[in-house]
Structure 1
Amino acid sequence: MELLSQPTLTALQVCGTVGLPEKCFRVIVKNALDCIFSQHEDEILIDKDTVEIDAAILKQTYLAIMTLFVEASKTDTSSEQFSMVLDDCKLLPKQKEILQESYKLNKQKVRSHLARINKGLPHVVDIDWRLDYNMKNSQLNKVMDLKYTLSFKTEQQLCGEINSNQEDNVQFSCTREQLQDFVGKLKEAVKSVERASQS
C-alpha cells in the first residue's frame, strides 16, 4: 500500500534507527497532532524532552508523523492497514504501539478537521436548459440556427463552515454538435469513475 512518500518513510525509519526514548517519542507524537489541529501554528516545539535530539531529525520526525496521520486519516485507512504501513517503517515496537494508539484515538478528529478546512469542488445540484431557434439574424438574412442554453446550479461548502453552502449558476450556450460532444465526454467520465471504483 502506497500511503507515504519515500522521504516520509525514510524519516520514520530514522525514528526506529536512532532509538528515540519512549517519553520523547510520545511528546513528538502529541505535538505533531497538536500541530495538525493548528494549536501550535506549524512551529516545532522543543521542550526538555526533545532538546537533546538533533534539530534535523526532530523536524523530519514531526513532519513524517503529521504526514502519516493526515494521509492515513484522509484515505480512511483501517487500523490493520495502518499497522502494515508501520511495519514498512521499521519502528521500534513501543513506537509502533504509540502511533497505533494515537491514530485510533485521533483518526475521526483528524478527518473532521480535514473536512472543515477542505474547500472542495462545487457540486452540480440542478440543471435547466433551453432551446433557442434563430430564424433570422440582425440583417434579416435567413439563419435557421439552433442554440442550446444550459444553466447548471452549483453548490460549494464554504471553507471552515460545516452547514454553510455557497450557491452559484454556471450558464453557457452551445450548438447541437457541441452539446453531443459534451454529453459524450460526461459519459466517458462516468465510465472512468465506475472503473476506478471497481478496482
Structure 2
Amino acid sequence: MEVSESVMKGLQTLADPSLFDLKSFILFTEVAFDSLLSPRGESALANQDLKHIDPITLKSCHTAATTFILEGIKHNVDKSTMGSCLEDLRFSTERVDIFYTSFQKNKTALECLLSSIDSCPPHVTDVTWRLEYCLKVGLLLLLFYVNALDISCLFSQQNSHVHKVNQPSYLISLNTEKGGTSSHINFNCTMEQLQDLVGKMKDAAKSLERATQA
C-alpha cells in the first residue's frame, strides 16, 4: 500500500503523542471516518475537544487520514498490511488497533460510498482518423477516404446537404474505456477545427505538466 509523501507526513504528525494525546487521537479518528460518511465533511473538525490543536495541523492530518482510509478501502487491506504501514509511520500498537477497529467498523459503509461514486470520465485509449474529400463528377459525388493505410473511393448520388463538395474534412474516432467497457466517440471536423482542437489539447497538456511539477 503506497501513499504520497504528504500523506505520510500527515500521519506521522497524527502519531505524535505530543500533538495528539490518546484521547485526542481517538476523537480525531472518529471524526475522520465520520467526515467521509456524513454530509458535514470537514466541518466535523470543529469539535470543541480538538480546539487545542493548530487548525492547519488538524486539517493536514485530516486530509492524510481520509486519503489513507480511502486507499485502504480501494485496496481491501487487512490488519497486517495496514498495521505494518502505520507502524512504519510511528504509530504505536495501541493506535494501530484503534485506527483499524474504526476502519473495520466503517468498511462496509465506505465500500458502498465508493461504489456509488462514478465521477471518473472515460479515458481515451486510441484514436483513428480518415480524411474525407468530396468531388463532384457529373451527377455523382466522388468521395475519397484517406487514412494511414490506404485511399478508398466511394460513389454517391448527389446530395448537397450531406456532403460538402470540394472541401476536405476529417472523420475522427476516439476509442474510450470506462470501467472495463469500451466505446467510441465519432465526429467530423474541418482542418481549422482540428487544428484548434489540437492546440487546446496541447495547452491542457502543458497546464497539467506545470501542475504536477509545482
Tell me the TM-score normalised to structure 1 length: 0.59
AA paired with 1:79? K
Confirm or deny that 1:53 pairs with 2:89. no
SS at match of 1:52: coil
- 1:9: which partner in 2? 8
- Deviation of 1:58 after TM superposition, in Å, equals 1.7
* Long gaps (5+) in structure 2: 124-133, 144-151, 155-170, 189-214
Kept in 2, the 8 Å contact 1:69–1:107? The answer is: no
- Tell me which stretches of 4 or more aligned residues in structure 1 moved more than 6 Å: 154-157
Q: How does 1:161-176 map to 2 (within 5 A)?
A: 170-171=185-186
Q: Report % sequence identity.
A: 24
Contact 1:8 1:67 in 2 (8 A): yes
**Offset at 1:78?**
2.7
Aligned residues: 149
Larger radius of gyration: 2
Counterpart in the other structure of 1:99: 99
In the alignment, which residue of structure 2 is the partner of 1:84? 84
Instruction: Report the Cα offset of residue 28 of structure 1.
Output: 0.9
**Do 2:10 and 2:60's aligned partners in 1 also have CA atoms closer than 8 Å?**
yes
Residue 12 to residue 169, structure 1, CA distance change in 2 (3 Å): closer
**Equivalents in 2 of 1:120, 1:47: separation in Å?**
33
1 CA distance for matches of 2:36 and 2:48? 22
Shift of 1:39: 2.5
User: What RMSD in Å do the two structures reach over aligned CA positions?
Assistant: 3.6
Q: Deviations over 1:68-97 (max 9, x none)?
A: 101111222233221221122111222211
Q: Report the counterpart of residue 69 of structure 1 in structure 2.
A: 69
Contact preservation (8 Å) 2:87, 2:93: no
Which residue of structure 2 lines up, in the alignment, with residue 23 of structure 1?
23
